[in-house]
């Protein structure tokens, strides 16, 4: 059975974003997050799924973009282990 999620700092480029959103992020929300992350760090980790050593992110689009724009190399993630079946479920 899958274990409890663990919190890890993961390099941004290691996180695959299979569902890159069709609509753009809200730039004001990204800007607010950038200010907050620069001052106090990321408060709520993004959720990622780990399947066979690969990380997949389906949410946290604004937080992810804020990290990219700040030029940060890693992002704090709540990692859940999954199977290819779990991944297929998310991709439906």
CA separation for the pair 12, 82 (Å, rounded): 19
Q: Which residues are annotated as a binding site for ATP?
A: 60-63
CA separation for the pair 83, 52 (Å, rounded): 8
Q: Which residues are annotated as a binding site?
A: 60-63
Chain-centroid distance of CA 1 in Å reads 23
């Amino acid at each position: 059975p899958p274990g409890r999620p663990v919190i890890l700092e993961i390099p941004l480029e290691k996180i695959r974003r299979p569902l890159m959103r069709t609509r753009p992020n809200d730039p004001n929300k990204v800007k607010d997050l950038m200010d907050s992350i620069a001052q106090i760090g990321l408060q709520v980790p993004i959720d990622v799924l780990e399947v066979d050593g690969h990380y997949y992110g389906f949410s946290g689009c604004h937080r992810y973009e804020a990290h990219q724009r700040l030029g940060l190399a890693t992002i704090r993630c709540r990692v859940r282990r999954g199977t290819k079946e779990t991944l297929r479920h998310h991709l439906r």
